[in-house]
């Protein structure tokens, strides 16, 4: 059954448009809704919030610079505060796949704020216009990318980095807990010399710590915003001091290290700061994928796998095999990593859409980058709290596999040479005996080439672990 929707008539410079009667937006938003019925994916809530905050700061700066009267400026600020809460997200219906500058979404913001502000001033008979007042001293070409950089910076600082700190701390705690658990190292998925489980987990923790470092290293470029360049970077129609004041106000409101673009022509044409941080997230995603794969390998079993770790049981793993439990958090993390890697490919390709004075791939760059940040932040906490914190080591199994590795022959290189040691390793594997038994069987002790005491010293797996 068709919905009974009432409409009103709005107009813009192209003529009349029919708009849902209860919509806060107006003609230009409706045109975009009609033009881009593509994915059903709209702007992230964090992005809408950032657009509102930019408009709020712009209203204050315009009032101070006598571009806006006090009544309209205050009404716009109050409307922006409401939108920033997320309460009106449903009035931002435009698809992510839209005009590449984000003009449609900038006008969506202008129209919603103008409607809310006009309502608040109705008793005074004052109207707030989307372009003349809400968008005063601005262009979509500097406002929309500024909003992206604000939203991304806020998500990195307030969501991703704290979540990564939780994950790193969890891994570090396990590294300390597992410091004396000796296990077989593996290279090429083949037996290698011993390592401790704690050493492995210290590497995982370092991977996450380095990810935090990489994100922090990118922040100065991500937090550098193009506001003030207006149409092509020249700042046309913008009063002196406007951009500096808006950015100052934004920084105060958000607590973020926002700065004005050092070169407005570069800032207008390129989105390299977004590309840079997306690349850092891609690197982090690869690291998390590797960690997750290692953990599920070590937890494989329970009877026919490696069985070195017990991964917390979270849910039944099969609709047909009773009692089966799977490493579901590892698998979810790997899928997140795949999505982030794919998002980065889209962001990188979209960055090439910077022709002359403007990049025209910004909305999809914003959506993908904000999604990557949200996914990584969420999965980092989930992995820490639901999996890493609850891991336990099978100490006996780890030690057995460490001592069973033919690569424990490696310290004998210094006593009998590489080729003789290789012969011992092959004999050990072929005859299913320990390295020590292979040394004896092949006559190295009997011939006096190595003593029992030297074997005790050389084949002690606890002395093969290094000082790291």
| Residues present in the chain in total | 468
Q: What tokens were used for 435?
A: 């390295």
Q: What tokens were used for 168?
A: 């790193």
C-alpha pair distances (Å), 69 with each of 55, 74, 129, 139 = 15, 9, 13, 20
Contact 63, 70 (CB under 8 A): yes
Using only C-alpha atoms, the chain has a radius of gyration, in whole angstroms, of 30
Contact 58, 139 (CB under 8 A): no
- Say if strands 259-260 and 224-225 run parallel, antiparallel, or are unpaired: parallel
Task: State how far Cα 467 lies from the chain centre.
Answer: 34
Residues 131 and 134: their CA atoms lie apart, in Å, by: 6
11 is catalytic: no
Q: What tokens were used for 221?
A: 């470029």
318 is catalytic: yes
Residues 138 and 132: their CA atoms lie apart, in Å, by: 10
Q: Which of 101, 188, 310, 428 is catalytic?
A: 188
Label residue 236 exposed, middle or buried (CB < 10 Å: 0-12, 13-18, 19+): exposed
Contact 426, 409 (CB under 8 A): no
Residues 320 and 336: their CA atoms lie apart, in Å, by: 27
Q: What tokens were used for 308?
A: 């070195």
Q: Which of 75, 58, 59, 73 is nearest to 119 (CA)?
A: 75
Q: Which of 318, 350, 351, 392 is catalytic?
A: 318
Supply angle C-alpha 237, 57, 215, rounded to 5: 105
Residues 201 and 203: their CA atoms lie apart, in Å, by: 5
Which residues are catalytic, by number? 188, 318
């Amino acid at each position: 059954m068709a919905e009974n929707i009432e409409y009103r008539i709005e107009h813009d410079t192209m003529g009349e448009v029919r708009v849902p009667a209860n919509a806060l937006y107006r003609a230009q938003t409706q045109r975009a809704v009609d033009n881009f019925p593509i994915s059903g994916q709209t702007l992230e809530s964090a992005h809408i919030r950032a657009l509102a905050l930019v408009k709020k700061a712009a209203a204050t700066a315009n009032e101070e610079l006598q571009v806006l009267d006090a009544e309209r400026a205050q009404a716009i600020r109050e409307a922006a505060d409401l939108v920033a809460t997320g309460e009106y997200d449903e009035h931002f219906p435009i698809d992510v796949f839209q005009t590449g500058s984000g003009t449609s979404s900038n006008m969506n913001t202008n129209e919603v704020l103008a409607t809310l502000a006009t309502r608040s001033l109705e008793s005074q008979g004052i109207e707030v216009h989307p372009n003349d007042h809400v968008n005063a001293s601005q262009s979509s070409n500097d406002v929309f990318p500024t909003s992206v950089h604000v939203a991304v910076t806020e998500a990195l600082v307030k969501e991703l980095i704290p979540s990564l700190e939780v994950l790193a701390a969890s891994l570090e705690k396990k590294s300390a807990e597992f410091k004396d658990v000796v296990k077989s190292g593996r290279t090429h998925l083949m037996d290698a010399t011993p390592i401790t489980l704690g050493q492995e987990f210290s590497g995982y923790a370092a991977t996450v710590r380095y990810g935090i470092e990489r994100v922090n290293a990118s922040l100065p470029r991500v937090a550098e915003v193009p506001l003030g360049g207006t149409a092509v970077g020249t700042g046309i129609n913008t009063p002196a001091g406007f951009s500096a004041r808006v950015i100052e106000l934004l920084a105060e409101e958000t607590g973020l290290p926002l700065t004005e673009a050092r070169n407005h022509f570069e800032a207008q044409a390129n989105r390299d700061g977004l590309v840079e941080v997306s690349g850092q997230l891609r690197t982090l995603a690869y690291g998390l994928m590797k960690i997750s794969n290692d953990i599920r390998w070590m937890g494989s079993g329970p009877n026919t796998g490696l069985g070195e770790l017990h991964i917390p049981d979270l849910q039944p793993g099969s609709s047909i095999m009773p009692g089966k439990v799977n490493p579901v958090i590892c698998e979810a993390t790997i899928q997140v990593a795949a999505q982030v890697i794919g998002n980065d490919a889209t962001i990188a390709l979209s960055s090439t859409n910077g022709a002359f004075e403007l990049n025209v791939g910004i909305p999809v760059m914003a959506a993908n980058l904000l999604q990557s940040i949200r996914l990584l932040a969420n999965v980092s906490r989930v992995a820490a709290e639901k999996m890493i914190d609850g891991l336990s080591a099978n100490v006996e199994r780890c030690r057995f596999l460490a001592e069973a590795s033919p690569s424990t022959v490696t310290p004998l290189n210094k006593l009998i040479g590489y080729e003789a040691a290789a012969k011992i390793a092959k004999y050990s594997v072929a005859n299913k005996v320990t390295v020590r038994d292979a040394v004896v069987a092949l006559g190295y002790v009997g011939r006096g080439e190595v003593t029992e005491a030297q074997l005790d010293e050389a084949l002690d797996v606890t002395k093969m672990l290094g000082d790291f």
